[in-house]
Amino acid sequence: ETGVTQSPTHLIKTRGQQVTLRCSSQSGHNTVSWYQQALGQGPQFIFQYYREEENGRGNFPPRFSGLQFPNYSSELNVNALELDDSALYLCASSPDLGVGYTGELFFGEGSRLTVL
Amino acid sequence: GNSVTQMEGPVTLSEEAFLTINCTYTATGYPSLFWYVQYPGEGLQLLLKATKADDKGSNKGFEATYRKETTSFHLEKGSVQVSDSAVYFCALSGSTDSWGKLQFGAGTQVVVTP
């Protein structure tokens, strides 16, 4: 069983640029959630995709956007990068949110973004 | 809104010592509670969970009991090992409508020395 994989693992961008981060969900999982983890902080929920539709969003501006593809992989896009966007971006997948699901998330190792 | 507060670290212990990490929460209704662990260089892993009041989650010698009366979910381990060195996160999911949308605490770093 393949776990959650994210790419790239590290990247450096400059202020104002755009970035795309990618995530492959664990086999059999149809839900992907994205989190931002600033240094020394807990992860903050960005948004969730369930069966290719956005299914909830945290307190992040519209320049944070996402997609989920038919194979349930996902992208996180951030436009007009700011210095405060420097963080570890975590993708987490979960099985169907229906009956029997008890809330566990399966996390990837993250993409570390540095904005200069 | 929902929130999670956990004790600040780092917590430094000797091997075989008793570990407690305090976690309290604020939420409406009946949240599910989780402890996740992040080992150096790795992603977060679920350590244990409890989905209703008075439930006890346990795994790898760690335990936590969901206490609704004190809105707490403290993590304990009776005898820690060097391999338990990691960052521990308490988290909650507000309701079934919030599945996968976890509210995390700031994390507590635990350092276990031989």
pLDDT in tens, A89-116: 999 998 876 666 667 889 999 999 999 9
Question: Is a pLDDT exceeding 90 seen at residue B22?
Answer: yes
Average pLDDT value for chain B: 92
Instruction: Return the half-sphere exposure (C-beta side, CA atoms, 13 A cut-off) of residue A14.
Output: 0
Tokens 């820690």 correspond to: B80
Cα separation, B102 vs A111, whole angstroms? 19
Residues linked to residue B57 through DSSP beta bridges, in sequence order: B64
Q: How many CB atoms lie within 10 A of CB A116?
A: 10
pLDDT at A99: 63
pLDDT at B97: 61
Which residues lie below 8 Å from residue A106, measured CB to CB, with a gap of 6+?
A: A3, A4, A26, A29, A92, A93, A94, B46
pLDDT at A69: 95
Average pLDDT over residues B1-29: 93
Closest CA in chain B for residue A100: B96
Cα separation, A75 vs A77, whole angstroms? 6
With CB atoms and an 8 Å threshold, state whether B105 touches A42: yes
**Calculated CA dihedral for residues B47, B71, B32, B5, nearest 10 degrees:** -60
Question: Is a pLDDT exceeding 70 seen at residue B23?
Answer: yes
Quick one: chain B helix, strand, coil %, rounded to 5? Answer: 5, 50, 45
Question: Is a pLDDT exceeding 90 seen at residue A60?
Answer: yes
pLDDT at B95: 66
**Of A46 and A101, which is predicted with more confidence?**
A46
Q: How far is A31 from chain B (nearest CA, A)?
A: 8
Average pLDDT over residues B89-111: 86
pLDDT at B100: 75
pLDDT at B30: 84
Per cent of chain A over pLDDT 90 is 78
Average pLDDT value for chain A: 92
CA nearest neighbour of A5 among A21, A23, A31? A23
Question: Is a pLDDT exceeding 90 seen at residue A34?
Answer: yes
Chain A contacts to B (CB-CB under 8 A) = 4, 31, 33, 35, 40-45, 48, 56, 58, 90, 92, 94, 97, 101-110
Residue A65 sits at the vertex; the CA angle it makes with A69 and A60, to the nearest 5 degrees, is 140
Lowest mean pLDDT among A50-54, A95-99, B35-39: A95-99
Average pLDDT over residues B91-114: 86
Q: Does B107 touch chain A (CB under 8 A)?
A: yes
Per cent of chain A over pLDDT 70 is 94
Question: Is a pLDDT exceeding 80 seen at residue B42?
Answer: yes
Show residues of chain A in contact with B87, CB under 8 Å. none
Per cent of chain B over pLDDT 70 is 96
Q: How far is A101 from chain B (nearest CA, A)?
A: 8
Show residues of chain B in contact with A88, CB under 8 Å. none
